[in-house]
Amino acid sequence: MSFLQIKIYRGKFIAYTVFVVSVGLGIGLLTCAILLYQWVDNARNEASSAFIRVENTFQYNADRIEAYMQRVYSNSGLMADVRCFLGNSAEGYLTSRLQESRYNQPLVSFPDDMKSFLYSGGQGDIIQVSLHTEQLGNMIRFDNNGNASFKFQLPNTDEAFQESIHKGFVYRKKLSDPNQISRQLGEFRFLVSSDRIFRNVNNYRVDQAAIVSVSGDIYPIVGANRHTEELARQAVADGRSQGYLSMGGLNGVFFVTHPSTKFDYQFVGLVDLGAMIRNQAGVLLTVFLIVLSAMISVLMLIVHNLRDDARFLHHIIHSMGRVKTADFTPETPARYRRNEYDMISRELEDMARQLDKYIRTEYLLKLKQQETEMKALQNQINPHFLYNTLEAIRSRALVNSDVDTADAIATLGALYRGIVKHENIITIGKELSLLQEYLKIMEFKYPDRFYYQFNVDETLLSLPTVKFWMQPLAENFFVHGFNPSNEFNLLVIKGWEAEKHFMLEIVDNGKWITEERLKEIRDTLFRKDDAPVKNIGLHNVYTRLHFFYGEGFAMKIENNEEAGVKISVIIPKEVALHVQTSDCG
């Protein structure tokens, strides 16, 4: 990198490198932090959704239990069977059922009805229902297939009735006498299985989850390991709804807690940040590679720019040295991008060319000025001699009754008078009059072989223009396109006003120009140097009109589709209405 040898660019490169690396690292760290936050937020949302699902399941079972209690109170047969079940042994229950039965009413079974309504309708969440007196309880328990098993006359202190977060959650409902509401007959206890309630949590993307009761018992749900219980206990003890727990070193766990509104427990969701980063290592590596590629690309662009800057500075110093030694030899400038450096570099190289060109131009201008002065002296010859000579010839033709010759001479004289008048700027109407005088002479030269037409709008007749430019264009037709053997040679001059310009066309029906020759004419027509050209008439006409009307002027030469050539002259409106109108003769 040669630019590092220049102090100013070396300092820039170091500063740019520090800036790019700092920004790149900042963007990379910020992107990783945003991704990590998003992943943690997704995990938090999943844990919240899982907890809401659990709470909704509890509420659903509570609603089912409440509905069943209303069913018991509203069905006298069912209430009678419940009262038979309450406090009796198995034999006592069966005996009481038979005593309470009526021959005209169907026999209602409280266990069967409860299984149908609660177990099956509750999706198997309620696995145990017990009916208690003050001392004893009778229990109905359902296995995974919905088969019921019964236990009678168990003490209320029996292990089967002990509440534990591992077993499930108990809904308690008082059984009152339907005839005397204030009189309590016993108590219903509905056990909702923890396994059944929390199994749906596995459907959510939760790394670890556990239930912590008020007494401190912990029921792991998802992803349990040797740290789960301790972390769940710390999360509950922390008191916050969400936070971060350190596991030592760089290991840490994000937690979120949700207290239940149904029972005395808290749902704890845990996210192992280390495991999350390891699982998403591919994404983080992709981010790192993208940031690294961007940093390298920016640094390469900076190096490229600094190399251009250094090369430009070297070129300036070299050009200044050439100027000091008066060395104006043309030299190909160094190539730069299209910016200010490229412009300055080329301007410096053009300086030597312009100095040499200026000297040559001044010399040529002086030679042309002398040539013009010589032509002006030659043109100062008194034209009356030619007028008198033409008039004498015309008089002689009239004496000999040669009217056509006399008219041709008169036309030639009028044309010559118009040409030698001193005004250089006339209207297009007067220029058309001069052209018409010339065309009359050509009619005399080619009787019954040549015709012409003028179709020019009046709006064009008052426009200013330079004198005597239409005749060379018409003469071009007689030199190159006119066919004397053809009985109908036509020249049409058309003119009209368009939206943004005025259009004049000189159209003939003569010979076509070959494409090769047409391209040559177009190339030489618009040349601005002083090299000699073959089509001097067309070139002079274009040069004079372009000088008069400016950059908006255009002239086109092309072949007609049928025959002949069309020359189009386009005069811009904004120029034609203002240029030198005071000089029009």
**Chain mean pLDDT for the chain:** 81
- Say what the pLDDT of residue 376 is: 45
Read off φ and ψ for residue 504, nearest 5 degrees: -125, 135
pLDDT class for 230, splitting at 50, 70, 90? confident
Contact 79, 71 (CB under 8 A): no
Contact 20, 296 (CB under 8 A): no
pLDDT class for 492, splitting at 50, 70, 90? very high
Pairing of strands 242-246, 554-559: unpaired
Contact 232, 74 (CB under 8 A): no
Residues 6+ apart with CB under 8 A from 560: 507, 509, 512, 566
Q: What is the mean pLDDT of residues 465-469?
A: 87
C-alpha to C-alpha distance for 408 and 390, rounded to whole angstroms: 10
- Say what the pLDDT of residue 128 is: 92
Residue 327 has pLDDT above 70, yes or no: no
The proportion of the chain whose per-residue pLDDT surpasses 70, expressed as a percent, equals 76
Tokens found for residue 169: 């959650």
- Say what the pLDDT of residue 224 is: 78
- Say what the pLDDT of residue 400 is: 64
pLDDT class for 496, splitting at 50, 70, 90? very high
Pairing of strands 218-222, 208-213: antiparallel
pLDDT tens digits, one per residue of 258-309 = 999 888 899 999 988 888 888 888 988 999 999 999 989 988 888 877 777 7
Which of helix, strand or coil describes residue 493? strand
Q: Please tell me which residue, 474 or 582, carries the higher pLDDT value.
A: 474
pLDDT class for 170, splitting at 50, 70, 90? very high
- Say what the pLDDT of residue 551 is: 81
pLDDT tens digits, one per residue of 90-107 = 898 888 888 777 665 667
Q: What is the mean pLDDT of residues 26-43?
A: 90
Q: Please tell me which residue, 10 or 194, carries the higher pLDDT value.
A: 194
Q: Please tell me which residue, 166 or 318, carries the higher pLDDT value.
A: 166
Q: Which domains does the chain have, with CATH numbers?
A: 75-198 (no CATH), 328-374 (no CATH), 421-583 (3.30.565.10)
- Amino acid in the structure at residue 10: R
What is the sign, positive or negative, of the torsion defined by CA atoms of 4, 5, 9, 14?
Answer: positive
* Terminal-residue alpha carbon distance, the chain: 71
Q: What is the mean pLDDT of residues 118-126?
A: 75
Find residue 270's DSSP bridge partners: 208, 255
Q: What is the mean pLDDT of residues 442-470?
A: 89
- Say what the pLDDT of residue 75 is: 87
Residue 395 has pLDDT above 50, yes or no: yes
- Say what the pLDDT of residue 384 is: 44
pLDDT class for 137, splitting at 50, 70, 90? very high
State the Cα angle at 33 between 31 and 34, rounded to 5°. Answer: 65
Task: Of 514, 495, 513, give the one whose Cα is nearest residue 504.
Answer: 495
Q: Cβ atoms within 10 A of the Cβ of 277, count?
A: 16
Residue 356 has pLDDT above 50, yes or no: yes
